[in-house]
C-alpha cells in the first residue's frame, strides 16, 4: 500500500479491544510509524490505573495533549502514523483533533463479553479487569457528525480485523 504522507490513523476503543496489536499490524501494512498511546501516559496515570482506580478527565488532560502533539508532529514532518489511544469521549477526540487536519479515527468495537474474554487472555497489561466496565460506561459512541471516525468490528480473527482496518482506510481515501 502507498503511504499517505502526513496522515495519522488513531485506533480507539476500550482496553483489550486490540488497539495496540491491531494498530501495530496495520502500521506495518501502511508502512507507517507506530505509537502506542499507553507509552505517552504520565507515570501518575499508570500508577493510578495499576492500583485499580479509573482515570478522571484531569488525569487524562496531559495524556491527550501528548497524543495531539504526536499527531501534529506526524503531519508537520509529512510522515504517516498509527497511534493508539482509547479516546473514549467525544471531548477527548475533539482535543486530539484540535489543530490536526489529517487525522482519521479507527474505532475498534466489540461487545463487552468478547472484550472481557480477550482481557482475561492477556497477562501483560497494567489495567485490571475490574476497570473494563468503567471503560464501557465512559465510552461515548462516535455519532454521524464525527465523519472522521470509521467503526471496525473486532469480532473475528486477528488477521480478519487487520484486513478490515486496512480496507476501511483505503476506502476512506
The verdict on residue 72 lying in a domain is yes
pLDDT digits (tens, 9 = 90+) for 139-170: 999 999 999 999 999 999 999 999 999 999 99
The verdict on residue 123 lying in a domain is yes
The verdict on residue 158 lying in a domain is yes
Average pLDDT over residues 90-113: 96
Domain total in the chain: 1
pLDDT score recorded for residue 125: 55
Find the domain containing 132 and state its range.
8-172
pLDDT digits (tens, 9 = 90+) for 15-47: 889 999 999 999 999 999 999 998 999 999 999
SS3 letters for the chain?
CCCCCCCEEEEECCCCCCHHHHHHHHHHHHCCEEEEHHHHCCHHHHHHHHCCCCCCHHHHHHHHHHHHHHHHHHHHCCCCEEEECCCCCHHHHHHHHCCCCCEEEEEEECCHHHHHHHHHCCCCCCCCHHHHHHHHHHCCCCCCCCCCEEEEECCCCHHHHHHHHHHHHHHHC
The verdict on residue 3 lying in a domain is no
Mean pLDDT across the chain: 91
Q: Is the pLDDT of residue 2 over 50?
A: no
Average pLDDT over residues 83-107: 96
The verdict on residue 130 lying in a domain is yes
The verdict on residue 2 lying in a domain is no
Q: What is the pTM of this model?
A: 0.89
Supply the CATH number for residue 154's domain.
3.40.50.300
Amino acid at each position: 500500500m502507498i503511504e499517505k504522507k502526513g496522515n495519522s490513523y488513531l485506533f480507539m476503543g476500550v482496553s483489550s479491544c486490540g488497539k495496540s496489536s491491531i494498530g501495530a499490524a496495520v502500521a506495518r501494512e501502511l508502512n507507517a510509524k507506530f505509537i502506542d498511546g499507553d507509552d505517552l501516559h504520565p507515570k501518575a496515570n499508570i500508577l493510578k490505573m495499576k492500583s485499580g482506580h479509573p482515570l478522571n478527565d484531569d488525569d487524562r488532560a496531559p495524556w491527550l495533549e501528548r497524543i495531539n502533539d504526536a499527531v501534529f508532529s506526524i503531519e508537520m514532518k509529512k510522515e504517516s502514523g498509527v497511534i493508539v489511544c482509547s479516546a473514549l469521549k467525544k471531548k477527548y477526540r475533539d482535543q486530539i483533533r484540535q489543530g490536526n487536519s489529517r487525522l482519521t479515527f479507527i474505532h475498534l468495537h466489540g461487545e463487552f463479553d468478547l472484550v472481557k474474554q480477550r482481557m482475561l487472555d492477556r497477562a501483560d497489561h497494567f489495567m485490571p479487569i475490574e476497570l473494563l466496565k468503567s471503560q464501557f460506561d465512559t465510552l461515548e459512541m462516535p455519532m454521524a457528525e464525527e465523519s472522521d471516525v470509521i467503526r471496525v468490528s473486532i469480532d473475528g480473527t486477528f488477521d480478519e480485523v487487520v484486513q478490515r482496518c486496512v480496507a476501511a482506510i483505503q476506502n476512506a481515501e
